[in-house]
A and B are shown apart, each in its own frame.
Chain A
Amino acid sequence: MTVATEAPPPSGSGTATRPRAAGRRTGPSGGWREAAAHQLFLVPVAAVFIVLFVIPLGQTFYWSLTDFTGYSDDFAFVGLENYRTILSDPSMTAGLTFTLLFAVGTTVLTTVIAIPLAVALNQRLYGRNLARSLFFFPAIPSMAVLGLVWGYILSPLGSGVLNSVLDSTLGLGPVPWLSDSTLAKFSVIMVGVWGGAGWHAVLYLAYLQSIPHEYYEVATIDGASGRQRFFHITLPLLMPAMVISQFLLMTNGLKVFDLPYTLTNGGPGFATQTITQSIIVSGVGQGQYGIASALAVLFTIAVAALAFSQLLISRRIERRVL
C-alpha cells in the first residue's frame, strides 16, 4: 500500500497538469506571489492604456458637457446641449454619412482588389519582386501627400492630368472628378483604395505563402479547377488575414482625415466632409471644444460598436470556415 501511494504519478497530460493546478489554488504564499508577479507585467501596459486612453476619454466626455472654448478656464456646464446641436446639424450628419461610406467603400473595394492582386503576385513571374514593390509603393507616402498629388491628377478642368488623357485617347470631355458631389465621393474613395490596396495585398501575400502547396497539388490531382482551388482553399485559409485587414481598413476608414482634407477639403459643400474633420475644425478652428468633444464621444462609441461587431462577425465566419 505504501509503495502504491508513494509511487510517482503515471505520465500523461491529464495527470501532469492536475498537481500544478492544485498547487496554485492550495499552495503556500508562493502561488499568489507568482500570480501577482505575472500581473505585474501588465502594469506598464495598463498604465499606458489608462494615461493615454481612459483619462483623455474621460476628460473628453467631461468637456463635452461644457461650453469650453479652448482659450479660457471660464466655462459653464451645458448638459447635453452640445449633443443636441450635433444631432440637429445637417453638416455633421453629412459628415457621418460620408465617413461610413468611405470606411465601408474602401474596406470592400480594397479587399476585392488586394486578394486577387496578392494571388497574382504570388505566382512565379518575371519581375515579381519589382511588381510587388510597385504595388506597395503607394502605401509609403502619407495620405496627405497622395491627396495633394491626386488633386492635380483629378483636376476637373480640361488641363487636368486624367482629363487630358481621357480627351487625347477617348475624346471624352472634361469629367468633373472633384467638382461634382457624387464623383468627388467616388474619387476620394478610389484614391483611398489606390493608396491602400498594395499594402493589404502584401499582408495577404504573407498569409498566402503560409498555405501548404500540397493542398493545391492534391486538389489539382482531384481535378479541381483554378476557380475551385481559389474558393475552396485560398479564400478560406486567408480568413485570418481578412479579419486583420478588414479591421485595419474599417478603423482607419472611420477616422480618415488627411486624404479628403487635402483632396477636396470636405467639398463640394459637405459632400466629402468626415467626422474627424468636423472634430478638428470645430475644436481647433472654431474654438468649440465642447461641441468637438461631444462629437468625439459619439464617434468613439460608434467606432467601438462597429469594430466590435466586425470582429464578432469575422470570428464567427472564421470559425465556420476553418
Chain B
Amino acid sequence: MTRHSRHLAAALSLATALAVSACGGGGAADGDTLTLLAWDSEEVMTPVLEAFEEAHPDIDVEATYSPPVAEYIQALQTRVLSGTAPDVFLIAAENKTNLIEGGHVLDLAGEDFLAGVPEFNQQTYGADGAVYGLSLSSWGAGILYNEDLLAEVGAEEPPDTWDEFLALCAELKDAGITPYLEPLDAMPGVLSAFLGAYDASTGHTMDDEIFSGASTFEETWTPLLEQYNRLYDEDLVTRDTVGLGPDQVEAEFANGRVAMMIAGPWNVNSVREAAPDLEVRMVPIPGVDGGEPFLAGAAAPGLAINPESGNIEAAKAFLSFFASPEGIEIYQAQLGAITVTDDFEPPLDPALDPVVEDVRAGNVYLPQIAWQRAEDVLNVEAVAQIQRMVQGEITPREVAQALDRKLASS
C-alpha cells in the first residue's frame, strides 16, 4: 500500500467513524434541545411546538414524525433498542406493556400536569400506582345515524336496547334502506360496547378474572358474541362487511346509502366535509340484556418521557405546556379531539353532544387496551375469528375458545 493510499484509507476510516458516531448520537439530546417522536402529523404538531418554543425560548424542540400505528411502533422500538430513544414519545395500547416492563418510560405520578387528567386516562397508561403517559383526550365510537333516513320509517333516533335496534334495522331493510354498516378490519365497536357495559356492571373485574384464570373468554364473551352476531344471523346486515374498510363504510354513509354506521368523532368531521347537508347525530351503542347503552373507545395515546433522557426537566416542561389550557386549545383546534382536562372545555360538533359526557368521563371500553398482556396477539386473533364468524364459518363460542387458546399460548 502506498503512502497516498494509506492516508486515503485513514481518512475514510475517520470519516466513517464520525458518521457512525453522529448517527448513534441522535437520541436523547443534551442541553436545551428536546427530541420528540410525534405520532400526529407535522401539520398538526407545528402550531403546538411553535407556541411551546415561544413560551420557553430556552428550549428548542427537535421533532421527528412517524404515522400511527405500526410504523410508529416500529420506529420507536428501533430507537429504544439502539439506545437512541427521543426525550418524549408516545405510549400507546400496542406498546405500553413492552415499554413499561422494559423500564423505558418515566413514572409521572404526582406531577402537577396530571392534576386535571381523569383517573381513567391515567390508569390506561399506568401500572401499580405509577403513571407512564400523559393522555389528554379520549375517543368514543357510537352509532352515527342519518336523521332523514331514520325518519322514513318514523324513527327519531336509534333506540337504547339491542332488541329494539335490531327491530329498527329490520324496518329499514323492509323499506329498502341499508340499515347499518361497520368495517370489520378491526375489533367491532358494537361488541366492544357490549363488553364495556358488561365490564362496568361487574365493577370492572371482567378482564381481571379472565387474565387471572378465574374466568374465560368462552364464559364471558360467548353470550355477547351471540347477541352481536344476530346482526348477521338475522340477515339484517350484509356479511360483506368483512371485506370493507372504514373509508368505504364512511363513503356509503356520506352518500346517503346507509342509515347508520359505527363511528368515532373523526368520522363526524369527514362526513361533514363530504356531505355538509347531511343531518347526522351520534348516540351510544344500544345495551344488551337490560344493560345500559355504552361506547367503544379508549384514552388516546399518552406523552411519555424517556427515563434515560438528559433533558427530563425540559421534557416535563413540554408535557406541562401540552396539558395547559393554552397548549391543549391549540392541539384540539387541529384535530377536533375530545380532550379531557378539567380546565378546558373542547369546542365540538353538536352531533357529538349525546356522547361527549361519557367519553370525557371515561365510560368507554376497548378490549385490546383493557387486556393485561398479549394485547395485539389477542386483537389480531379476535378480529380474524370474528370475520370467520360473520362469514358463518364458525360459531360465537368457537371465537371465544380460540381466544382462550391464544391467551394460553401467549
Question: Which A residues are within 8 Å of any B CB, using their own CB?
Answer: 69-74, 85, 89, 91, 151-152, 155-157, 159, 174, 176-181, 184, 264-270, 273, 280-281, 284-288
Contact = CB atoms under 8 A, between A and B. Distances in A.
A9 B94 CA distance: 79
A284 B77 contact: yes
Interface stretch (B47-55, B152-160, B324-332, B378-386): B378-386
17 contacts: A72-B101, A73-B81, A85-B409, A91-B384, A151-B245, A155-B244, A156-B238, A176-B239, A178-B243, A180-B243, A265-B185, A269-B393, A284-B73, A285-B376, A287-B77, A287-B95, A287-B376
A18 to B, nearest CB: 37
B384 A270 contact: yes
A269 B184 CA distance: 10
Contacts of A287: 77, 95, 97-98, 376
A70 B76 CA distance: 11
Interface of B: 70, 73-74, 77, 80-81, 94-95, 97-99, 101-104, 184-185, 238-245, 248, 252, 255, 257, 374, 376-377, 380-381, 383-385, 387-388, 390-391, 393, 409
A287 B390 CA distance: 29
A279 to B, nearest CB: 13
B243 A179 contact: yes
A69 B245 CA distance: 30
Main secondary structure of the interface of A (DSSP, over half): loop
A156 B243 CA distance: 7
Given A71-B80, A157-B252, A177 B243 contact: yes
B73 to A, nearest CB: 6
Listed from nearest, the 8 A-B pairs whose CB atoms lie closest are: A179-B243, A178-B243, A156-B240, A269-B388, A72-B102, A71-B102, A71-B98, A179-B240
A310 B381 CA distance: 35
Contacts of A285: 70, 73, 94, 376, 380
Contacts of B70: 280, 284-285
B73 A268 contact: no
A70 B98 contact: yes
A152 to B, nearest CB: 7
Given A151-B248, A267-B185, A287-B376, 7 more contacts: A69-B98, A91-B381, A156-B240, A159-B257, A180-B391, A268-B243, A286-B380
A264 B77 contact: no
Given A69-B102, A70-B98, A157-B238, A181 B391 contact: yes
B interface, over-half SS: helix
**Most chain A Cβ neighbours within 10 Å, of B98, B103, B385, B390:** B98
B256 to A, nearest CB: 11
B243 A269 contact: no
A261 to B, nearest CB: 10
B384 A157 contact: no
A159 B244 CA distance: 12
B200 to A, nearest CB: 28
Nearest to B94: A285
A269 B385 contact: yes
A284 B244 CA distance: 25
Contact of A268 (B101, B103, B388): B388
A69 B391 CA distance: 34
Contacts of B98: 69-72, 287
B376 A267 contact: no
A114 B257 CA distance: 41
A284 B66 CA distance: 15
Contacts of B74: 284
Nearest to A151: B245
A286 B368 CA distance: 12
A72 B104 CA distance: 9
A269 B239 CA distance: 13
B72 to A, nearest CB: 10
B393 A281 contact: no
Contacts of B376: 281, 285-287
Contacts of B242: 178-179, 267-268
Nearest to B69: A285
A71 B240 contact: no
A268 B387 contact: yes
